[in-house]
């Protein structure tokens, strides 16, 4: 007996075409009062009347998100989701997103300044320069969100160092800053919404945006920040870091180049 088998040949499924997409680059710069930042020159005055200079500007931004006009959004994260920026390291000031960004019309861009609690894990960086951003374990661990260092002239005209640092805050029992009296930690990262950030992206386009940190704004709105009042170091001073956090809402501006 001969058994005849019928083999049904199925047509191979066609691959689903990828949607039209482009890429995006951020070119970062740092300015004071609309002019390019200059290091080590006592040429700046903040809203409190403090004369100051800057020696370092270093920070993280993360979870950069593009919002489309149809209500959907895309968050950078396929290749990398946390970006380190350092004025002294030029290559960190060009942020290349390797994620494909769907072509179309976008209403706005925002990002997290710093690193969210779920991602800010101690020892995730082992190499310079990011490893130097470590935040002490006893103060909450993880990494600084920002370091701006420099000097200011106090009321007696003496140049004093300041460390304008932002990271995880602490709440203390009683007076003082004894680490044994810490009873809670405060997450000081925040979301930056960039005004005037609508744009259109064409298929295969590489769009470049200029992202500017306007440093003077850290010291002026809604609170006037006075180095003479807060002193040179604020890592254990949550009220000071809270002020810095709340002043950060309009520090950044963006434009398509």
pLDDT at 226: 98
Residue 8 covered by a domain: no
Distance between CA atoms of 68 and 224, rounded to whole angstroms? 35
User: Looking at the predicted structure, is the pLDDT value of residue 162 above 50?
Assistant: yes
Residue 12 covered by a domain: no
Tokens of 124: 């995730």
Over residues 112-121, the pLDDT tens digits come to 999 999 999 9
The domain of 26 spans: 21-256
Residue 29 covered by a domain: yes
Q: Where are the beta strands (DSSP E) in the chain?
A: 21-32, 35-36, 44-45, 51-68, 73-75, 82-86, 94-102, 104-113, 146-153, 159-166, 169-172, 182-186, 190-194, 199-201, 206-214, 252-256
Report the pLDDT averaged over residues 94-105. Answer: 94
Residue 3 covered by a domain: no
Residue 4 covered by a domain: no
Percent of the chain having pLDDT more than 90?
89
Lowest mean pLDDT across 14-23, 130-139, 155-164: 14-23
Percent of the chain having pLDDT more than 70?
95
Residue 9 covered by a domain: no
pLDDT at 7: 46
Cβ-count burial 162-199 (b if 16+ within 10 Å, e if not): bebbbbbbbebeeeeeeeeebeebebbbeebebeebeb
> For the chain, what is the mean pLDDT?
94
Distance between CA atoms of 257 and 102, rounded to whole angstroms? 19
Residue 168: partners with Cβ closer than 8 Å, 6 or more residues away: 120, 135, 139, 140, 141, 142, 185, 186, 187, 188
pLDDT at 18: 80
At residue 158 the predicted structure's pLDDT band, cuts being 50, 70 and 90, is very high
Report the pLDDT averaged over residues 204-208. Answer: 96
Lowest mean pLDDT across 11-15, 150-154, 197-201, 216-220: 11-15
Over residues 5-14, the pLDDT tens digits come to 444 455 566 7
Residue 130 covered by a domain: yes
Residue 88 covered by a domain: yes
User: Looking at the predicted structure, is the pLDDT value of residue 200 above 80?
Assistant: yes
Looking at the structure of the chain, the number of domains it has is 1
User: Looking at the predicted structure, is the pLDDT value of residue 201 above 90?
Assistant: yes
């Amino acid at each position: 007996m001969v058994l005849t088998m019928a083999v049904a040949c199925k047509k191979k499924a066609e691959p689903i075409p990828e949607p039209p997409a482009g890429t995006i680059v951020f070119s970062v710069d740092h300015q004071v009062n609309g002019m390019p930042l200059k290091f080590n020159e006592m040429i700046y005055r903040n809203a409190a009347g403090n004369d100051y200079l800057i020696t370092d500007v270093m920070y993280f931004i993360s979870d950069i998100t593009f919002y489309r006009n149809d209500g959907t959004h895309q968050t950078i994260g396929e290749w990398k989701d946390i970006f380190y920026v350092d004025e002294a390291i030029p290559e960190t000031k060009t942020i290349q997103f390797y994620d494909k960004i769907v072509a179309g019309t976008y209403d706005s861009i925002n990002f997290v300044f710093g690193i969210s609690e779920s991602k800010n894990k101690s020892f995730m960086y082992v190499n310079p320069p990011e490893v130097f951003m470590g935040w002490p374990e006893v103060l909450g661990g993880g990494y600084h969100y920002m370091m701006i260092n420099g000097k200011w002239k106090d009321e007696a005209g003496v140049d004093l160092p300041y460390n304008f640092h932002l990271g995880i805050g602490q709440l203390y029992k009683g007076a003082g800053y004894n680490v044994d009296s810490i009873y809670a930690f405060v997450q000081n990262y925040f979301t930056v919404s960039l005004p005037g950030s609508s744009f259109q992206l064409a298929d295969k386009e590489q769009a470049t945006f200029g992202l500017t940190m306007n440093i003077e704004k850290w010291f002026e709105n809604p609170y006037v920040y006075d180095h003479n009042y807060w002193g040179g170091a604020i890592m254990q001073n949550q009220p000071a870091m809270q002020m810095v956090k709340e002043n950060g809402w309009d520090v950044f501006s963006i434009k398509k180049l």
